Amino acid sequence: MRHTKDDALSRPDTFADLYRRHTGMVYRLCRLSLRSDADAEDAVQSVFLKLLQHPKQFQDPEHEKAWLITAARNHCRDLLRSPWRSRRTNWDDLPELSSPDSAVSDGDTLRALLALPEKYKTLLYLYYYEGYRVRDLSRLLGRKESTLQTQLAKGRALLKLDLLDLGGMLDEEANP
Amino acid sequence: MKKRIHDLFDALSPSAAQEARMFSAIETAAAGGAARRSSLPVRRMAALAACLLLVLGGALTYPLWRPFTPGASVDQPAPSAGEEIQTPVFALPAMLAGEAVTWEPIRKSGDAPDDPRSSLYRISAATGDRTALEKDLQVRITGTYADGRKITLGTELVFEGTEAAEEAFMASRSAFEPSAEVGATIAFCALKSETAEKGVTCLVFRCFVESIDQP
């Protein structure tokens, strides 16, 4: 697919197709990193706007997808390093008061996932949701396959532990 | 576990309304050539507006809080005896005008920052030999009040020595604590090398009100 700045706008269906194909993936990646709906929306817009203003020559759909993943990860990483982000606490990160009767809810599980270190949650997402194989992820993320296998195992363990901790905490609150 | 993780990520997907909103914002930004996006968080815009207001407010009120005015004239507090306090503008001796001169207010702890009688200034001048300096000061330092009255300060040499000694001298300035009759104490440092060879790099002058003429 080849866009130029002018024809991308004059043929919005082409860009719209690309947007429809990948917006969910880019949004989920950004949402995972930034942990805020509003920030994720901003990031998605920035990534696609960049593509619209600086068109790329993609060899195939996989190349297109890989470029968007890399662009989204880089953009989110830049945002996380910015002074604005590094000096404030995300509203979504603040702990909520939980009811003693509540079990581990979907919201708690999601929070545990979002609280995982960046390298684990992105890897888990690309592996389990996007269906990438470890060999492909090795090329995409620039990490060794053995490293990725280890990180996948550790990510799974961390997520499981976090969920157990969360459940244990709630049990303690319910039965002090 | 796999199914659960998959479902978890699924919960992070954008809604159809979000997708449409983002697409619309991208099109608008691309068409307008600006990265203006409708979903920019309100709190970020509010912080930006607050910063702009702060800078604008600071710039507009600068004349009220500026500590000193470098250059050929300086705002000097009015040393009037029983007079209403106003701020005359002093013309510096011609020798210092246009030179690299910095005015640095010196205050002891406990001084009220806006007390017009507690003004001491150290002037670091990269210029000037002692002779010219004394000669220039003998010409008198004059200033003008906003209402047109002329004020003339006389000067009196009260210290000469090294810069280190001058600092100690200024620290114990109770000997010439500014009163209603004393306009300012001015220290000139960094004199020329021929003076420095004799161990004198600083001169301290006490300035006092010599006259205030009605317009």
The pLDDT tens digits of the residues spanning A147-164 come to: 999 998 888 888 776 665
pLDDT of residue A68: 92
The mean pLDDT of B18-29, rounded to a whole number, is 87
Q: B1: pLDDT confidence band, cut at 50, 70 and 90?
A: low
Q: Quickly list DSSP for A126-161.
A: IIIIS---HHHHHHHHT--HHHHHHHHHHHHHHHHH
The rounded percent of chain A whose pLDDT value lies above 70 is 69
Domain count, chain B: 2
Kindly indicate whether the domain formed by A98-176 is annotated with CATH number 1.10.940.10: no
- Chain B, 24 to 83: residues with Cβ < 8 Å from chain A are 25-27, 29-31, 35, 37, 39-41, 44
Minimal-distance CA residue of chain A relative to B41: A38
Architecture of the structural domain at A1-89: Orthogonal Bundle (1.10)
pLDDT of B207 reads: 63
Same domain flag for B48 and B132: no
pLDDT higher than 90, residue A24: yes
Q: Are residues B124 and B162 in the same domain?
A: yes
Report the pLDDT value the prediction gives residue A57, as an integer from 0 to 100: 82
CB contact under 8 A, A9 and B40: no
CA dihedral A137, A140, A141, A145 (to 10 degrees): 40
Residues B89 and B159 occupy one common structural domain: yes
- Exposure class string for A123-141: b at 16+ Cβ within 10 A, else e: bbbbbbbbebebeebbebb
C-alpha to C-alpha distance for A149 and B16, rounded to whole angstroms:
35
> B129-173 pLDDT, tens per residue?
555 555 555 545 566 666 666 666 666 777 777 777 777 776 665
Taking the CA of residue A107 and the nearest CA in chain B, the distance in Å comes to 9
**Shortest Cα distance from B2 to chain A (angstroms)?**
7
Q: Hey, is the C-beta of A68 within 8 angstroms of any chain B C-beta?
A: no
Tokens, residue A43: 């990031």
Distances, alpha carbon A51 to alpha carbons A65, A174, B13, in Å: 12, 51, 21
Quick check: A26 pLDDT over 90?
yes
> Which candidate from B22, B25, B41 shows the least CB-CB separation from A23?
B22
The answer to whether the Cβ–Cβ distance between A23 and B19 falls below 8 Å is yes
User: Is B13 in CB contact (< 8 Å) with chain A?
Assistant: yes
- Same domain, yes or no, for B113 and B171? yes
Contact A128 B12 (CB under 8 A): no
A9 or B8: which leads in pLDDT:
B8
Residues in chain B: 215
Q: Is the pLDDT of residue B4 over 50?
A: yes
Extents of the domains making up chain A:
1-89, 98-176
Which DSSP string do the residues of chain B spell out, in sequence order?
-HHHHHHHHHTTSPPHHHHHHHHHHHHHHHHHTS---TT--HHHHHHHHHHHHHHHHHHHTHHHH-----SSEEE-----SSSPP---EEEPPTTTTTS-EEEEEE--TT--TT-TT--EEEEEES---HHHHHHHHHT-EEEE-TTS-EEEEEEEEEEEE-HHHHHHHHHTGGGG---TTEEEEEEEE---HHHHTTT--EEEEEEEEEEEE--
Q: How far apart (Å, rounded) are the C-alpha atoms in residues A19 and A51?
A: 10
Do B13 and A41 lie within an 8 Å CB cutoff? no
Q: Give the mean pLDDT of A40-68.
A: 88
| Chain B residues within 8 A of A41 when measuring between CB atoms | 14, 18, 21-22, 39
Answer positive or negative: Cα dihedral of A165, A169, A172, A174.
Answer: negative
Give me the pLDDT at residue A112, please.
Answer: 77
The pLDDT score that the predictor gives to residue B92 is 47
- Kindly state the tokens that stand for B91: 């013309």
Q: How do residues A96-135 score in pLDDT, each as one tens digit?
A: 444 444 444 556 677 777 888 888 888 888 988 888 889 9
B31-73 pLDDT per residue, tens: 775 444 445 567 778 888 999 998 888 887 766 655 443 333 3
What pLDDT is stored for residue B43 in this prediction? 72
Both B103 and B195 in a single domain? yes
Residues B42 and B76 in one domain: no
Residues of A in contact with B6 (CB under 8 A): 128-129
How far B34 CA lies from chain A's nearest CA (Å)? 10
Q: Which of A8, A24, A42 has its CB closest to that of B37?
A: A42
What is the domain extent for residue B47? 2-63
Residue B11 forms contact with A (CB below 8 Å):
yes
Name the band, by pLDDT with cuts 50, 70 and 90, for residue A71: very high
pLDDT for the residue numbered B135: 52
Put simply, the chain A residues between 130 and 149 with a CB less than 8 A from any chain B CB are none
B15, B34, B63 — which closes off a domain? B63
**Do residues B55 and B116 share a domain?**
no
Asked whether the domain spanning A98-176 has the same topology as the one spanning A1-89, the reply is no
pLDDT of residue A44: 92
Taking all residues of chain B, what is their mean pLDDT, rounded to a whole number? 61
**Element holding A74 (H helix, E strand):** helix A61-81
pLDDT tens readout for residues B165-211: 777 776 665 544 444 343 455 666 655 555 556 666 677 766 666 67
Domain boundary among B21, B44, B63: B63
Which pLDDT score is estimated for B8? Answer: 80
pLDDT surpassing 90 at residue B113: no
B39–A45 CB contact, under 8 Å: yes
Query: Beta-carbon neighbour count of residue A55 at 10 Å?
Result: 17
In this structure, the answer to whether residues B198 and B96 fall within a common structural domain is: yes
What is residue A116's three-state secondary structure?
A: coil
Cβ atoms within 10 Å of B107's Cβ, excluding its own: 13
As a whole number of angstroms, the distance between CA B120 and CA B68 comes to 11
Contact of B16 with chain A, judged by CB distance below 8 Å, is answered with no
Are residues B41 and A39, on separate chains, in Cβ contact within 8 Å?
Answer: yes
Pairing of β B120-125 and β B89-91: unpaired
CA distances from A59 to A2, A18, A51, A56, B65 (A): 10, 14, 15, 10, 63
The strand pairing partners of B123, in sequence order, are: B103, B188
What mean pLDDT is predicted for residues A77-96?
A: 62
- The answer on B165 and B119 residing in a single domain is yes
Q: How close, in Å, is residue A89 to chain B by CA atoms?
A: 13
Q: Residue written as tokens 């003076």?
A: B195
B203 in the same domain as B134 = yes
What burial class does residue B190 get, using C-beta atoms within 10 Å of its C-beta: 0-12 exposed, 13-18 middle, 19+ buried? Answer: middle
CA distance A173 to chain B (A): 25
Same domain, B46 and B96: no
Among residues B12, B41, B63, the one where a domain terminates is B63
Long-range contacts: B159-165, Cβ < 8 Å, 24+? B159/B187, B159/B202, B159/B203, B159/B204, B160/B200, B160/B202, B160/B203, B160/B204, B161/B199, B161/B200, B161/B201, B161/B202, B162/B199, B162/B200, B162/B201, B162/B202, B163/B189, B163/B190, B163/B201, B163/B202, B165/B202
Q: Do A49 and B35 touch (CB under 8 A)?
A: yes
Residues B189 and B131 in one domain: yes
Q: Which of B5, B14, B30 sits opposite A124 (nearest CB)?
A: B5
